[in-house]
Amino acid sequence: RNTGSSGAAAAPSFTIIYAGQQAAPNPNAVAETDFAKAIESSSKGRIKVQVHTAGDLGGPAALLTAVKQGTIQMTITTPQSLASYYAPIGVLGLPFLFDSLPEAATALTSPAAGQLASGMESATGIKVLAWQQFGMVQLMGRDHAVTGLADLKKLRVRTIANKVATGTLSDVGAIPVPLDGSETYTALQQKTIDSNVDPISVLYSEKDWEISKYLTIVNVQDNIAPVVINAKFFDSLPKDLQQDVTAAAQQVAADEVKQIESLDQQDITAMQKSGVHVNTLSPDVVAQWRSATTKLGDTYDKSTVAGLTGGT
């Protein structure tokens, strides 16, 4: 209403619905609120952000679909979810692609990562604003520590329903069991599964450690958390606001990645205190595991992989 009123035109205002799966105090949930504060201040109130956490607007797939359709504007997602719309970005879910979070952070600023994002944007209308992190994926099991590949034989390991994720396990003789995260604890308790692979923050908040007493640091994979926005909405913003949105998202993401690193360490210490045995898989064994899974990368562009991992 009031479209025809005379006088100075009011500054256009925009509302962003920003929804995610994590609940505070998870850094990815905190990041949503931080983004809202940052952009509301830098845009001087021209952008309002409605923050939704803990999946109250829907599950991961639903939120990504909603961003694509423009029924919400922003979400925090995963390369695996994005890959259902744009297969090449699934490369970021390959096992042993990065050895650490700092290495991943550097790789995600590379031209190769930029090309992946822009390729996806033009194909799907989903734009990556920044790369946050869920953290490096580790293995946590009930009955024994994993020190060699032989320990993985016939181990029933919960994972996500995804070719690369299940292949990472089955290529070394483990039995991948794709399960919903909410069923993991019970499945461990009832011995339907032996182990779980997840980032430390998930293993900790899901309370896997109440049952699983053996945490093996493998760095199987880096669970990246791309912050995405509906490209059509983004393009509809005035140029200065576009810059503000990007700057806010990237600043928040940089802080979030640091947070994840220090929190992972805290969580590991807390789990150790409650009797969890922690071991780190030796580089030799990791190398064996890596070479057993190399064919999983065959479907992805070689030069992208090289660009991400520093051209080796």
Partner 1 sequence: MVTSVEAEPDVRPARAWWRPPDDGTSGGLWFARTGLRLVELVVDVAFVAALLAVFGTVLANVITRTLLGFSLTWSSEISTLCLPIMAFGGGARAYGVGRMPAFTGLVDRLRPRAKAATGAAAHAWVLVVAVVVAVNDGVVIDQGAAQRSPILGITANWAALALQAAMALTALYAVRYLWRVGRRDMLWGLGIAVVIGVVVYAAYWGVGTNASAGLSSAVALGTFVVAYLLGVPIVFVLLTSALLYVQVSHVSALAVVPADMVSGVSGFIIVAVPFFVLAGTLLGEAGLMAPVSELISGLLAKVKGGLLHSTVVLMYLFSGVSGSKIADVAAVGTSMRKAVLAAGYSKEDLAATLAASAVMGEAVPPSTVMLVLGSITTVSIGGLFQAGLLPAALLGVLLMVMIWLRARRQPVTATVAVPHGKLLLRKAFESVPGVVVPLVILVCIYSGIATPTEASSIAVALGVVALLVTRTGRSKLSPGLLLPVETTAGFVLTVIGSATAFSFTLSVAGFPNLIGSLFHTLGGSRWSILLLSVILLPILGMVLEGLPAILILGPLMMPIAQSAGINSLQYGVLLVLAIGLGTFAPPLGVGMFSTCAVSGTSVSEVGRRFWPYGLAIFVGLVILAFVPAITTVVPGLLGSG
- Cβ burial, residue 192 (10 Å; 0-12/13-18/19+): middle
C-beta atoms surrounding 268 within 10 Å: 19
Spatial separation of the C-alpha atoms in residues 160 and 158, rounded to whole Å: 7
**CB of 182: closest distance to Na ion in angstroms?**
3
Of these, 38, 177, 237, 308, which contacts partner 1 (CB under 8 A)?
177
Q: Report if residue 6 touches Na ion, rule: CB under 5 A.
A: no
With CB under 8 A as the contact rule, which of the stretches 104-112, 178-186, 259-267, 291-299 interacts with partner 1? 178-186
Task: Say which residues have a Cβ less than 8 Å from residue 305's Cβ, sequence separation at least 6.
Answer: 91, 94, 97, 297
Hey, which residues between 185 and 214 contact partner 1 (CB under 8 A)? 185-187, 189-192
Q: Report if residue 14 touches partner 1, rule: CB under 8 A.
A: no
With CB under 8 A as the contact rule, which of the stretches 111-119, 144-152, 157-165, 288-296 interacts with partner 1? 157-165
Count of residues of this chain found to bind Na ion when the rule CB under 5 A is applied:
1
Are the beta carbons of 218 and 116 closer than 8 angstroms? Answer: no
Q: Report if residue 54 touches Na ion, rule: CB under 5 A.
A: no
> Please, what sign has the CA dihedral across residues 255, 307, 159, 161?
positive
3-state secondary structure of 304: helix
Q: Which does 57 bind (CB under 5 to 8 A by kind): Na ion, partner 1, none?
A: partner 1
**CB of 151: closest distance to partner 1 in angstroms?**
15
CA distances from 276 to 145, 189, 215, 258, 282 (A): 10, 16, 7, 25, 19
Are the beta carbons of 19 and 72 closer than 8 angstroms? Answer: yes
Judge if the upstream peptide bond of residue 199 is cis by omega within 30 degrees of 0: no
Task: Say which residues have a Cβ less than 8 Å from residue 51's Cβ, sequence separation at least 6.
Answer: 18, 19, 32, 33, 36
**CB of 190: closest distance to partner 1 in angstroms?**
4
**CB of 162: closest distance to partner 1 in angstroms?**
5
For 113, the token pair is 């990562």
With CB under 8 A as the contact rule, which of the stretches 31-39, 144-152, 172-180, 215-223 interacts with partner 1? 172-180
Q: Which is nearer to Na ion, 180 or 235 (CB)?
A: 180
Of these, 11, 54, 270, 306, which contacts partner 1 (CB under 8 A)?
54
Binding mask 161-190 for Na ion (x = CB under 5 A): ---------------------x--------
**One-letter amino acid for residue 176 of the chain:** P
Q: Report if residue 266 touches partner 1, rule: CB under 8 A.
A: no
**CB of 198: closest distance to Na ion in angstroms?**
15
Q: Which residues would be at the binding site for partner 1 (CB under 8 A)?
A: 1, 15, 17, 23, 50, 52, 54-59, 61-62, 65-66, 68-72, 80, 83-85, 87, 123-124, 154, 156, 161-163, 166, 170, 175-180, 182-183, 185-187, 189-192
